[in-house]
Amino acid sequence: MPAWFNVIWRRQTAVVSMGALAALTVVLIAYRSRIDFPSLSDGNWIFPVAASATAGLVLIHFRARDVRRLAASQRQLADAQRLAEQALRQSEQRLRRILEASPMGAAVGRADGRVLDANDSFLKLIGYTREQMLAGRVSWHRATRPEQMLSAFDAMEQAERRGACDLFEKEYVRPDGTLVPALVAYAHLGGDEFAAFALDISERKRVERELYAAARIDRLTGLPNRALFTDRLQQAMLRHRRLPELKYAVLFLDVDRFKTINDSLGHQAGDELLCEISRRLREALRAVDSVAAYVPGPKGQPAVQPTDESDSTGPTAARLGGDEFVILLDGLKSADDATVVANRLLKALSVPLDLAGHDIVITASIGVVTSELGHQRADDVVRDADTAMYEAKLAGKGRAVVFSHSMRDRVRRKLELEHDLRKALDAGQFFLVYQPIVSLETGRAVSAEALVRWNHPTHGLISPAEFIPLAEETGLIVPLGEWVFREACRQLSAWWRDHGRGSVPGVSVNVSRKQLALPELPRTLYRIAREAGIDPAAIHLEVTESAAMADAKLGEGVLRELKAIGFKVAVDDFGTGHSSLACLHQFPIDVLKIDRMFVTNLQRGSDFASLVNAIVMLTRNLRIQVIAEGVEHADQLSMLQALGCQMAQGYYFAKPLPSEQVVERVTRGWAADRACA
């Protein structure tokens, strides 16, 4: 027993629990300031503990210093409790300030949805005021879309089992009907109370929509791009397999002469033209079909349309890139309807428009593929529609052509020839033939045109009409053209060496558009001619009107440099280009070759004869020589001589000949006899 604790006994038989006395001592000290107990003369304290008839009075005696020590300890405990309560209040205030300042909404509510308390972010998110909440008029169930209620209840049940639920997305409905997407989580607080945490993700959803649109919508025109169009086409193909009576068709549209417009008027004008074409395509398709995947979004921005089947039927106009567009016609009753729509689109595009101060008439070439061909892959449908479009261009542009399997065979052959063409030059598969050019005044050959031929190891002789455009398209025309010029110079040098310069006075060599675009062309040709020992004046370089006018400024400069070196410049196929008279004035021309179309039609009416006469008279005044191409009959020759034409070439004189036959046939005198007959 501590020294300071003494029990004064009135009866020695009393038994007192020490633990009870200690506890009672603390209680008595706590009440000491309010209860007046007697104290001894030495300052110590006496506390009555119990009194009874059997035990007598039990008194507890404390020394004064021990009482003071216990009182100080009690005060320290009270101060500590007060500080703890103050810290708790401050913590609660800080937490309240954090919740109020947080952009994340936080609320406490019951399982029935009633919101008991919430921060401003949560109230702003669901569109209610604090007064409405305090009045008990706010419910997070009422602010939830009906179709999302089940998922919300599942989240609350999960929170009740685990303490908190996984994050999930939902949309709150504000009183004005506005939908607000949010990232939400629930926590169970006990009983029927839950805490809800919600973050407004409207901005994130907006960015997602923009990224999705960037991946699926053409930014310039607002039309679907290749990815979205392919998705729509695949859906149409699936529907057709389930319901064969629901037919579809794809129209592949390419704007004719777009590059010319874009290069001459500028890229901004080109963009404006593409936007105008897109607008006309949408308007030309039936309004009842709700055009494709283009519906203006907020502030005029294109909105991405859903890709489920219910929203993707009807026409879909899309831009693949550049000036290429595709149109999906879905749900057709007849495949023939595709041609009707294609012609309607051509008519809509042909209406003149003002572009950068110029009146422009748009024409287009359209390839059509229908579901009747039974394609299995969307890419194959677009590929074949593209093939049909090129057939439309070859047929004269400004028209629609329906795809057939024979076109696919031609494309396959084209790819095969392109592959073989790259190896043909190194393999020595090309050779030259020569067609004499005859003077209609003397009847003698004045030159021979060098014409390239391709002896394919598998297919035999390939027509120049087939491989020359392919060489132009692939760029192989540049090395091929240089080989032709080198070989023609070599052969002319051999003729001069073996038969004299009078045997074949000169050669004509065709120069392609891509060669004419090379600034170094004059130096290259001059070097080759000098290496062969040929005077440049003996060589006529033939360029077509379209090749010269492709880049008129560059073409004029190259031609003038060639003429300054000594080469003769001839314009081939005159009369078929879009600026014939301008070409006569602009370029340094020595010889003009009248296209075979005029010669063929000389006897069909006086109009063509008048045109040829006008050309001859014009060139005579400009001191330009004239060659008529494609002479095949004696009456054509007679009319050309009567009109004053100076030279001619054609099958009437000779077909293209191998090099070893040229001199023999020319010197034999048959050409002179026929020309002067």
Mean pLDDT over each residue of the chain, to the nearest integer: 81
Give the pLDDT score at 79: 77
User: Which DSSP category does 339 fall into?
Assistant: H
Between CA 391 and CA 414 the distance in angstroms is: 13
| Tokens 């004299």 found at | 500
Mean pLDDT (whole number) for 531-540: 95
pLDDT of the residue at 301: 37
pLDDT at 574: 78
**Confidence band, pLDDT 50/70/90 cuts, at residue 7:** very low
| Predicted local distance difference test score (pLDDT) of residue 581 | 65
Residue 443 is predicted with a pLDDT of 86
DSSP string, 197-258: EEEE-HHHHHHHHHHHHHHHB-TTT-SB-HHHHHHHHHHHHHHHHH-TTSEEEEEEEEETTH
DSSP assignment string, 406-432: HHHHHHHHHHHHHHHHHHHTTTT-EEE
Higher-confidence residue: 457 or 68?
Answer: 457
pLDDT at 262 over 70: yes
- Pair 435, 655: CB distance under 8 Å: yes
CA distances from 560 to 43, 106, 484, 659 (A): 134, 82, 22, 31
Q: Distance between CA atoms of 342 and 364, rounded to whole angstroms?
A: 10
pLDDT at 228: 86
The domain made up of 102-200 has a fold known as Beta-Lactamase (3.30.450)
pLDDT at 46: 54
CATH 3.30.1490.440 is held by the domain 218-403: no
According to the model, what pLDDT value does residue 522 have?
94
For residues 224 and 212, the answer to whether their CB atoms sit within 8 Å is no
pLDDT digits (tens, 9 = 90+) for 232-254: 899 999 999 999 888 999 999 99
Q: What is the pLDDT of residues 598-650, one digit of tens each?
A: 888 887 777 788 888 888 888 888 888 999 999 998 989 999 998 889 999 99
Domain limits, the chain: 5-93, 102-200, 218-403, 416-672
Using one digit for the tens of pLDDT, what is the confidence trace for 108-143?
999 888 988 888 888 888 999 989 888 888 888 888
Contact present, 366 and 332 (Cβ < 8 Å):
no
Tell me the CA end-to-end span of the chain in Å, nearest whole number.
Answer: 159
Fold of 416-672: TIM Barrel (3.20.20)
Backbone torsion region of residue 390, taken as left when φ is above 0, otherwise alpha when ψ lies between -120 and 50, otherwise beta: alpha
Is the predicted pLDDT of residue 1 greater than 80, yes or no?
no
Model-level pTM?
A: 0.57
Cα 144 from chain centroid (whole Å): 38
> What's the burial of 94, exposed, middle or buried (CB within 10 Å: 0-12/13-18/19+)?
exposed
* Vertex 649 angle, CA 648 and 654, to 5°: 140
Band the pLDDT of 333: cuts 50, 70, 90.
Answer: confident
- The HSE-up count of residue 133 (CA atoms within 13 Å, CB side) is 21
pLDDT band at 293 (very low <50, low <70, confident <90, very high): very low
Quick check: helix, strand or coil at residue 366? strand
> What pLDDT is recorded for position 102?
76
| pLDDT at residue 307 in the model | 38
In angstroms, what CA-CA distances link 416 with 383, 423, 459, 464?
Answer: 17, 12, 11, 16
The answer on pLDDT for 424 being more than 50 is yes
Query: What percent of the chain lies above the pLDDT cut of 70?
Result: 79
Whether 448 has a pLDDT exceeding 90, the answer reads yes
- pLDDT above 60 (res 288): no
Task: Please give the C-alpha separations between residue 375 and each of 46, 231, 292, in angstroms, as whole numbers.
Answer: 111, 15, 22
Cβ-Cβ contacts under 8 Å for 438 (sequence gap 6 or more): 444, 445, 446, 647, 648, 649, 653, 671, 675
Residue 306: is its pLDDT beyond 70? no
pLDDT at 45: 53
